[in-house]
Amino acid sequence: MRDQLILLPGWGLGTVPLQPLAEALRGLDPHLHVAIEPLPQLDSSAPADWLDELDARLPQDAWLGGWSLGGMLAAELAARRGERCRGLLTLASNLRFVADPSWPSAMPDETFAGFRQGCAANTAATVKRFALLCAQGAADARGLSRQLLAAAPPSQPATLLAGLDVLAALDTRVALQAVVGPQLHLFGDADALVPAAVVQALLAELKNVEVGLIEHASHAFVLERPAAIAAAIQRFLRGAGHD
């Protein structure tokens, strides 16, 4: 649908953190149908399996977007769908979450490996640590992390570990080059998980996309600053021809 936006959440914290953003978008544009769709609940670590599930479940011809891991999956799905996707928006989504020599603006591999090991040993403690990392850099980091953690669904270790493996495996550089519709990519300049240097790296990779850096914003800016993010998204949609 030309007037439908699908938002996918990030890892481990469920759909609730996106609800204020969805409400803000609906308030700005009553004709825009915003739906937050949960990530697949799969034990598979293969990104293709996650994308197959999303492709079968999500409506065609909609705008696709997402936060963090959700944005990376939205990018891959947008590329897969081609003309059957109106356009793409990502929120605090790196092109690669785990660094390699060709993409250093990401989390060091050893840091990610330690995080995954912690998740395997104590899932609940790792989700709590993740909420703190998401909130780091916010004006009220402690309050924001409490909000994130309070909304998190019950821990499902196998699914969470599979999600981390998918996050580590994804590299959306090829997908973003293949997306047919317009693109918006927003980042936070105080994000503890996705370095602000990604902005320049992304602009070096892609032409004719819109990129924004939100000042004094954490990784969880979707919950921290929903009105500002909604306004940026609405400007993008209007400029891209959304009626």
Annotated catalytic residue, options 68, 93, 145, 218: 68
Q: Which of the residues 171, 191, 218, 242 is marked catalytic?
A: 191
Give catalytic status of residue 61 as yes or no: no
Contacts of 194-201 with CB under 8 Å at 24 or more apart are 194/68, 194/92, 194/93, 194/94, 194/97, 194/106, 194/219, 195/105, 195/106, 197/105, 198/94, 198/95, 198/105, 198/106, 201/95, 201/103, 201/105
Neighbour order of strands in the sheet with 63-67? 33-36, 4-8, 63-67, 87-91, 183-188, 210-214
Give the Cα separation of 41 and 155 in Å (integer): 11
Among residues 54, 67, 61, 53, the alpha carbon closest in space to that of 82 is found at 61
145 belongs to the catalytic site? no
Please indicate whether residue 219 is annotated as part of the active site.
yes
Hey, CA dihedral for 189, 195, 197, 203, is it positive or negative?
Answer: negative
Which residue intervals of the chain are DSSP H helices?
A: 19-28, 47-57, 69-81, 109-121, 123-135, 141-151, 157-169, 173-178, 198-205, 221-224, 226-239
Of 185, 218, 219, 242, which is the active-site residue?
Answer: 219
| DSSP reduced 3-state for 88 | strand
Q: Please give the Cα distance from 173 to 93 (Å, whole number).
A: 12
Residues marked as catalytic: 68, 191, 219
